[in-house]
Amino acid sequence: MTIIGFVRHGQTAWNKEGRVQGSSNIPLNDEGVQAAEKLATRLEGEHWDVIVTSPMNRAKHTAEILAARMPNVKVVEDDRVRERSSGLIEGTTEQERVRKWGPDWRELNMQFETADSVVARGMEFVEEQIHMNPDKRILVVSHGSFIKRMIVTLLEDDRYAVTIDNTSLTIIDVEGKSCSLLNCTAHLAGGTNGDSV
């Protein structure tokens, strides 16, 4: 069975300010680096075969921090696990969006990448991993919106549509369509084990 561990990147200044990042290349802030270090400490005793990262700075930096504790695990960039482009709203807060486009801005065409496009590239990536890395454990460092959509698609269950926290870990048996860990941030509280699902 192929196991995928989805990790959301560490916090950025825009996360803290409530700004939509999408395809904007925003770096980790100090808190994001520290949280990634805590996750790295948690993961260094676990077995992972490869780390695949989004090419965006906030994900790459997170992946590099994790890889520093896993000296025999290579890091591979894959554009298919990047965040969804958020079009015209990137860099804005909810308050700014309401001020600029009105309270019904979600009903306007904001030039987002479509949900179907995100899922299509994500599933192409997953199917390739099943074929190329059968029975391997793959750590994917990506982004909140992308991870949320992939969890729901892989498990075929909308009940898993939870908010994905920075540096959280979700572990999925891809072929078995089961989730053993969902959005776990136990490392931020000093723990190492999250609740099973």
Domain boundaries, the chain: 3-86+114-189
Is 25 within any annotated ligand binding site?
no
Tell me if 84 is assigned to a ligand binding site.
no
Average pLDDT in the chain: 94
CA atoms of 167 and 39, how far apart (whole Å) = 7
The string of pLDDT tens digits covering residues 83-127 is 999 999 999 999 999 999 999 999 999 999 999 999 999 999 999
Has 191 been labeled as part of a binding site? no
Q: What is the pLDDT of residue 45?
A: 87
157 with 68: CB under 8 angstroms? no
Tokens of 105: 């801005």
Query: Alpha helices, DSSP H only, in 82-176?
Result: 94-101, 115-132, 144-155
Which H or E run includes 39?
A: helix 30-43
Q: What is the pLDDT of residue 193?
A: 47
* Mean pLDDT to the nearest integer, 161-179: 96
Pairing assessment for the beta strands 3-8 and 169-173 based on DSSP bridges: antiparallel
Residues 72-91, mean pLDDT to the nearest whole number: 96
Which residue type is seen at 96? E
- pTM score: 0.93
9 among annotated binding-site residues:
yes
Would you say 82 is a known binding-site residue? no
Q: Could you give the residue numbers annotated as active site?
A: 9, 83
What mean pLDDT do residues 134-156 have?
96
Residues 129-156 have a mean pLDDT of 95
pLDDT tier, 15 (very low <50, low <70, confident <90, very high otherwise): very high
Task: Give the closest residue to 14 by CA, choosing from 94, 81, 101, 76.
Answer: 94
10 marked ligand binding residue? yes
The pLDDT of residue 56 is 97
The CATH number given to 3-86+114-189 is 3.40.50.1240
Residue 159, annotated ligand binder?
A: no
Write the burial class of residue 54 (CB in 10 Å: 0-12 exposed, 13-18 middle, 19+ buried): buried
CB half-sphere exposure, 147, CA atoms < 13 A: 28
The helix or strand, by DSSP H or E, that contains position 68, with its residue range, turns out to be none
For the chain, where are the E strands, in sequence order? 3-8, 50-53, 74-77, 137-142, 169-173, 178-184
The percent of residues in the chain predicted with pLDDT above 90, rounded, is 92
CA atoms within 13 A on the CB side of 111: 5
Q: How many CB atoms lie within 10 A of CB 31?
A: 16
Tokens of 193: 């084990």
Whose CA is closest to 4, among 66, 50, 55?
50
Q: Which has the higher per-residue pLDDT, 1 or 39?
A: 39
CA angle 53, 57, 62 (to 5 degrees): 55
More confident residue, 9 or 190: 9
